[in-house]
Amino acid sequence: MTSLTHDIQNALAQQAIELPSWAFGNSGTRFKVFATPGTPRDPFEKIADAAEVNRVTALAPSVALHIPWDKTPDYTVLRRHAEDLGVTLGTINSNTFQDDDYKFGALTHEDAAVRRKAIDHHLECIDIMDATGSRDLKIWLAEGSNYPGQADLRGRQDRLQESLQQIYARLTGEQRLVLEYKFFEPAFYHTDVPDWGTSYVQVSALGERAMVCLDTGHHAPGTNIEFIVMQLLRLGKLGSFDFNSRFYADDDLIVGAADPFQLFRILFEVIRGGGLNNPDVAFMLDQCHNVEKKIPGQIRSVLNVQEMTTRALLVDAEALRAAQLSGDVLAANAVMMDAFYTDVRPGLAEWRESRGLPADPMAAFAASGYQEKIEADRVGGVQAGWGA
């Protein structure tokens, strides 16, 4: 069994991965959203489920909210509810992709009234941050065009910057703006923030508290995501991760499901670039559990990140550098592969037990009876899901 060194244990003990509230709601394909027993009916129940993930893993101390899906009359009450359950409220995610007014754009729209509506929504999100104690406002824009000539590409970039400037000016204290990117969907000809470069250009013009959010599913097939991680860390502009996995496009599946080696490579560059346990680089999940149960899906996800972090920490940096300097290509690759193929699960189980945690969090949750309880208790009302 591979034993975990004191340094690795210390690094793992500090690791924190924020959970998305929407992962606990109903979701599905573009054709149907599936209902499941025990699904939360409000943000209070979502947070309770997220707290269960943290209880068995000690990896998920915060929960991201999505506005308006998680709207509530008093966010200080929601904040106290979270704290009573041992978690905090984290990133506030805006939504400008479900109103009819945003059919042809929101922050980029030609109509100043529509842009004003979208800006005001983000200002409302910052008001919520004030109440919840959240640091980050995350913006993902489903904006673009489907046909050549449909839109003024440059004009949209100019309007986007103007809109972001107004939102950024409202931030106070340590609050940050993180701008996500996605290379396509729902627009197919062009997307207004399609890649890390566009996001970087836009946030760099705002100021030091504007950062890039990297969603691991938001890249064209074959993209070297770890290179982007390296570059953004090098530039000091990697503000957060949205971890998920994809087979074709933005599948939003359990992180590491499609390509565990890619997750390992990404985390190696995070460590190499000083991003691990760096308060300026937030680890988050952005996933939808369509056919699997929600809570075990989130537990499996954070454990996958923890396992690949452990493997990445096992890379022999000195041996790797020596091989690189000597031009020994195969030796350098072998250093990486040796770490990747190391089975760290027994060592992690032993380490968890030493901290008073379940050796097997998945089994511990299954034996807890929590899933059966919420399925019995949460009868009636309207289940949360996309749009609620």
pLDDT tens string 276-318: 999 999 999 999 898 899 999 999 999 999 999 999 999 999 9
At 186 the pLDDT is 92
| Residue 285 resides in a domain | yes
Question: What pLDDT, on the 0 to 100 scale, is given for residue 104?
Answer: 97
Q: State the pLDDT at residue 250.
A: 87
Q: What is the DSSP letter of 67?
A: T
**The pairing of beta strand 19-20 with beta strand 282-285:** unpaired
The answer to whether position 387 is within a domain reads no
Q: How far apart are CA 15 and CA 283, in angstroms?
A: 9
Per the domain annotation, does 43 fall within a domain?
yes
301 lies in a domain?
yes
At residue 1, the pLDDT reads 63
Residue 326 belongs to some domain of the structure: no
Strand partners, 171: none
114: Cα separation from own chain's centroid: 28
Is residue 268 in some structural domain? Answer: yes
44 occurs within a structural domain: yes
The three-state secondary structure class of 138 is strand
Q: Which domain holds residue 103?
A: 14-316+354-377
Calpha distance 233→7 (Å, rounded)? 22
pTM here?
0.96
Task: Give the pLDDT of residue 30.
Answer: 73
- The answer to whether residue 274 sits within a structural domain is yes
**Residue 192 token pair:** 């207004």
In this prediction, residue 29 carries a pLDDT of 76
User: Domain total for the chain?
Assistant: 1
- Residue 342 has which token pair? 């190391």
Angle, helices 153-170 vs 112-132, to 10°: value is 30
| Alpha carbon distances (Å) from 323 to 100, 116, 230, 272, 331 | 57, 56, 20, 16, 6
- Amino acid 388: pLDDT: 55
CATH assignment at residue 213:
3.20.20.150
Q: Which residues, given as ranges, of the chain have pLDDT below 70?
A: 1, 387-388
Residue type, 145: S
> Of 305, 286, 342, 296, which Cα lies nearest the Cα of 59?
305
Helix ranges (H only) for 255-326 are 260-272, 294-313, 317-326
- How does strand 210-215 pair with strand 176-180? parallel
